[in-house]
Amino acid sequence: MIYDWKMELYWRMPVRLQEAALSIYARQLEKIYYGPVYKKWKDLLKGWRNWSPSFIEEWKHEQLRYIVEIAANHVPYYRHRFGDVQWRDVCSENDLQLLPLLEKQSLRGNEDSFIADTVDPKSLRVEKTSGTTGTSLRIHMSSSMLQQYWAITEVFVRNVAGVSHEMPRVAMGSRPIKRGDDINPPHWRYNRRWRQLYFSSYHISRETASDYIKAMRRYECQWMVGFGSAIAALADNALDAGLEPYPLKAVIVSGDTLLPNMRRSIEKFFQCKCYNQYGQTENTVMAMECEYERMHIIPMSGIIEILREDGSPCSAGEVGEVVGTSLLNDSMPLIRYRIGDYAAWAEERHCLCGNPNPIITKLEGRVDDYLITEDGRKIGRLAAFRRSQTIHSAQLVQDSPGHAYLLVRPGEGYRPLHAAVVCEDILERVGRFKLDVVEVPEIPKTRQGKTVTVIRLNDRPEMKEVYEKVIRKPL
């Protein structure tokens, strides 16, 4: 049996001890996230609506020059990569095309070479990406940078939605707070330190929806944050069960694509505005929707480029690849990083909300399919692939409820044992489910050229023939 001993210890604890552990962990995170740098930045950012465009541009360009200089002089990867590049000529975002693009594959498994030699790697906090294409990355960040990030999040995201960190809330993400095959309530854990109710995304159904909503009433939750697909699933099931709506001040979703029907369900049941936030674990760029559903970039986080296939900048209204340059992370700079998403600059910059920052639209590339269990639950945004650095990429292909193939493209140092670890991680979240591992030389792409985490063949009949060849059996 392969398992994470820390998670195994957690699973064995009574619920009350699990919740106590969460509160202790939250106290530790407070020191990292909400220290003196957070307070300083939060105060500085409060007046952002009164900042002039020239002030914002001046700050961005000064920070960009600083980040590029750090990268060129102190980061091993860039010292080598910038050898024949005129990096000193980069004075503004218009000069970024002097620098090469950064591919995810250059970063993956090579993260240590992106850490500046001016910092002690042991002092940095490591976050792992969800690996939506089956590829996980380890992102290193200093406590100072994290406090800047959370100050930006508080002011430009939560406060824009009319809520704050201090208000009691619900969070619904990918963390497996209970085993997938544990069908007994509660399907949540309560972090008393933050007055945060953390819902399991993997146990939502028509039958369990009332338990979730009762918990929200009990803890007097005022807003919700998490994956749009999971929150919409709760809203849909609550509506189907005929439950009385639970009014919130706001719902903020991120991590997957918010489709129109998801927004409608969320706003109908929770009787509030649903705001869409854009960002990544890599923290290169951020954007936040306003009350008029327009996605404004957050300039303090990073610089966004939207590029054509030939690398030239897209015109307004033209969909292109999103490339980000972080302005915050000087411990692990990511410059001209190909995020893997697609978007367009809005043709109209003026917005009735008064936010002067540029607007992106037509955001694509994050539509995650979900697995369907035998009992009809929909499980989305599975993040299990983050646990193996030896797997180049992976994908789940579902051919029937309760069964899927895990396609694995082996990387350097791969062994079948590593795929077994991924399977166990998925099953811990999903519960009863059958997975068959198939090693492949390449993960198939959709007709749009994208690699997605989950393929449900019933919904993509045009892909059936492709996967029959890969799996080498009729589907």
CA nearest neighbour of 15 among 200, 238, 233: 200
Average pLDDT over every residue of 416-421: 91
Q: Is the pLDDT of residue 2 over 50?
A: no
- Is the Cβ–Cβ distance between 136 and 386 less than 8 Å? yes
Q: Is the pLDDT of residue 329 over 60?
A: yes
Other Cβ atoms closer than 10 A to 371:
24
Q: Is 272 left (phi over 0), alpha (psi -120 to 50) or beta?
A: beta
Give, in order, the Cα–Cα distances in Å from 59 to each of 276, 282, 360, 453: 26, 21, 21, 38
- Is the Cβ–Cβ distance between 438 and 449 less than 8 Å? no
For residue 1, what pLDDT is reported? 38
Alpha-carbon span 308 to 320, nearest angstrom: 5
- Is the Cβ–Cβ distance between 199 and 187 less than 8 Å? yes
Average pLDDT over every residue of 55-78: 96
Beta bridge partners of 393: 409
* Strand locations in 52-154 (E): 125-128, 138-141
Other Cβ atoms closer than 10 A to 234:
26
Average pLDDT over every residue of 417-433: 87
Residue 123 corresponds to which tokens in the numbers above?
């002092």
CA nearest neighbour of 269 among 292, 293, 248, 297: 248
% of the chain surpassing 90 pLDDT: 67
Bridging pattern class, strands 302-307 and 320-326: antiparallel
- Backbone phi, then psi, for 396, in 5-degree steps? -100, 130
For residue 427, what pLDDT is reported? 86
Q: How many residues does the chain have?
A: 475
- All structural domains of the chain, each given as residue ranges with its CATH number in brackets, are 5-29+162-272 (3.40.50), 34-159+278-364 (3.40.50.12780), 370-471 (3.30.300)
pTM: 0.83
Please identify which residue in the block is written with the tokens 């997938």: 180
CA nearest neighbour of 78 among 60, 108, 62, 101: 101
**What single letter denotes the amino acid at residue 217?**
R
- Is the Cβ–Cβ distance between 228 and 174 less than 8 Å? no
Alpha-carbon span 154 to 266, nearest angstrom: 22
Beta bridge partners of 264: none
**DSSP per position, 415-456:** -HHHHHHHHHHHHHHH-S-EEEEEE-SS----TTS---SEEE
- Condensed to tens digits (0 to 9), the pLDDT of residues 361-413 reads 988 755 556 788 888 887 866 655 556 778 888 899 999 999 999 999 888 88
- Condensed to tens digits (0 to 9), the pLDDT of residues 163-178 reads 999 999 999 987 888 8
